[in-house]
Structure 1
Amino acid sequence: MPEGDSVWQAARRLDDALAGSVLTRSDLRVPRFATADLTGRTVLEVVPRGKHLLTRVEGGLTLHSHLRMDGAWKVYAAGQRWTGGPAHQIRAILGTADRTAVGYRLPVLELMRTAEENRAVGHLGPDLLGPGWDADRALANVLGAPERRLGEALLDQRNLAGIGNVYKSELCFLLGATPWLPVGALPAERAEKLPDLARRLLEANRDRPVRNTTGRRGPDLFVYGRAGLPCLRCGTPVRVAEQGDGSRERPTYWCPVCQTGPAPARTAARSRETSGGTHSRPGE
């Protein structure tokens, strides 16, 4: 699933391609909005909100999309061949005189009044890459359920918006806590660092083609996707197990020495290739 920094990059590409231009083509291939026509309207801006994309157009309308696991927006020049997937996977086409944005496999696509955007994103906590970032509120949200596991609390977009499975594992490593540690058991001095640490990681990576949390040329990540490989700090083999986020189980990585707290007794011996633990950007 694309995380906040990836969605921020997708929004910037779409904004660069569409903002300020009049739509000459509009095709929303979802039953509810199949008859909607945005042609003749100017695209005002494309902004990210956590993992959501808001394409605002003239006339007080917003096209709301969410990429989830497999969705992607591709931008093509006039006459360029579309390569994002087969035609039956296209959910949206927004075209101008010289650029075309094509949305593939978008699980969420809805047209709404801009004044009603809160209906789609109002439940989100402070946006890690947004202008209204509020570290105190984000921390209070995370600590609001002290019995909840740290990894689950970080993935809950109602607490703070933008963290996905990669940053969950990396943040827990940097905080020295396993993802299964109850939030209330996280030492106060570490908890206080959590919001700003998360924001710094996403800000540092929003302009990078390859995500990096280690600050070195390689490896780029401390634990994510590194099951069985030595921890970059202590040399102990990194472990992986499944952890739910309320919707599905996700591979979760940690160092059993550098991170304190409970962890599953049984772990899966996954390799980087079989775990889906890539840190490169998803196709957007």
Structure 2
Amino acid sequence: MPEGDTVWQAAKRLHTALAGNVLVLSDLRVPRYATADLTGRRVLDVTPRGKHLLTRIEGGLTLHSHLRMDGSWKVYEAGQRWGGGPAHQIRAVLGTDDRTAVGYRLPVLELLRTTDEARAVGHLGPDLLGPDWDPGKALENLLRDPERPLGEALLDQRNLAGIGNVYKSELCFLLGVTPWLPVGALPVDRASQLPVIAKKLLEFNRDRPARITTGRRAPNLFVYGRAARPCPRCGTPVRTANQGDGSRERPTYWCPRCQSGPTPRPTGEHAATA
């Protein structure tokens, strides 16, 4: 599942493969940019911004992409067979003399002026893995709506950029509260630790092929994906329910013993728990 660490890894692979090299192959397979030709231009850098990828190209252009749930960028050596999916799922191809980057199932792909990047990513909050990271600003953003459930606030990229559904569940576990707890009800000491722990989680995993939040490989996660299995800390079966703001429901996991705060009833209503 693409989150800030996954996107950071994708940017690193693309930057290593393309940056400093001239494009000899350019194919943007979306109607709006079907006639755009980037061949002959040098790739300057590939930069992650939260869950967004910015591929900057000579001539003041940026190819902006977003992976969302299913998108991916694969890098192949010259002559290597592409294997990221069927051809009809390819949305972009950028090739140099010895490397080819292929974007599969990209739900967002746009070519814009580099000076207009703010139009694509200017709404984002501080990036957990970026040079603009500001823990104080991130916490201020989260607390702006004190009645909002913590899990929803963490997923809102306008508050802080890089957290997805996995880190949402894991971070709430480490804070000892449920994802349905109103942000404003988070104890002051835990609120101050929230940005610190979030950054440590993503930095620890940005170079790892598999995420680890427990500090060990088995189990590698505390609660995410562990429905009905014992909590690694107390042994209580982990619970799961959907959480969302109405636009999209996401599976959410928590330990009913280690985490205090509201939890959803089977009907979708909320009830306070100890």
TM range (shorter): over 0.9
Deviation digits for residues 112-146 of structure 1 (CA, Å, limit 9, x no counterpart): 00011000000000000001100000000001100
Two-structure CA RMSD over aligned residues (Å): 1.1
The one-letter amino acid paired with 1:178 is T
CA distance in 2 between partners of 1:26 and 1:266 (Å)? 51
Q: Which residue of 1 aligns with 2:106?
A: 106
CA distances 1:156-175 after superposition (whole Å, capped 9, x unpaired): 00000000000000000000
Q: Please tell me the residue identity of whatever aligns with 2:14.
A: L
Q: Are the counterparts in 2 of residues 239 and 267 from structure 1 also a CA contact under 8 Å?
A: no
- After TM superposition, the structure 1 = structure 2 runs for residues 23-34 of structure 1, keeping only pairs within 5 Å, are 23-34=23-34
Offset at residue 264 of structure 1 (A): 1.0
Q: 1:167 aligns to what SS in structure 2? A: helix
**Residue in 2 that maps onto 1:170:** 170
Percent sequence identity is 79
Tell me the distance in 2 between the aligned counterparts of 1:122 and 1:21: 28
Equivalent residue for 1:180? 180
Q: Does 1:235 align with 2:235?
A: yes
Supply the AA of the counterpart residue of 2:12.
R
Q: CA deviation at 1:233?
A: 1.1
C-alpha distance in structure 1 between counterparts of 2:217 and 2:130, whole Å: 28
TM-score (norm 2): 0.96
SS of residue matched to 2:110: strand
Instruction: Could you tell me which runs of 5 or more consecutive residues in structure 2 were left unpaired when the two chains were aligned.
Output: 269-274
Distance 1:81 1:42, change over 3 A: same
1:157 is the counterpart of 2:149: no
What SS does structure 2 have at the residue aligned with 1:74?
strand
Tell me the residue number matched to 1:87.
87
SS at match of 1:139: helix
- Mapped to 2, the partners of 1:58 and 1:217 lie a distance apart of 42
Match of 1:279 in 2: none
Q: In structure 2, what residue type is equivalent to 1:29?
A: R
- 1: distance between equivalents of 2:45 and 2:142? 31
C-alpha contact (below 8 Å) 1:229/1:237 kept by paired residues: yes
The residue aligned with 1:248 is: 248
Gaps of 5+ in 1: 269-284
Q: How does 1:201-280 map to 2 (within 5 A)?
A: 201-245=201-245, 247-266=247-266
For 2:9, give the aligned amino acid. Answer: Q
Q: In structure 2, give the amino acid aligned to 1:56.
A: R
Determine the structure 2 residue equivalent to 1:137: 137
User: Does residue 16 of structure 1 match 2:10?
Assistant: no
2: CA distance, partners of 1:75 / 1:56? 17
Contact 1:240 1:267 (C-alpha < 8 Å) held by counterparts: no
Counterpart CA distance in 1 for 2:201 and 2:81 is 35
Does structure 2 retain, via aligned residues, the 8 Å contact 1:156–1:245? no
The structure showing larger relative contact order (alpha-carbon pairs under 8 Å, at least 6 residues apart) is 1
- Tell me which amino acid in the other structure corresponds to 1:184: G
Q: Which amino acid aligns with 1:32?
A: R
- Partner residue of 2:147? 147
Number of aligned residue pairs = 268
- 1:272 aligns to what? none
- The change in CA–CA distance for 1:47 and 1:246 in structure 2 (over 3 A counts) is farther
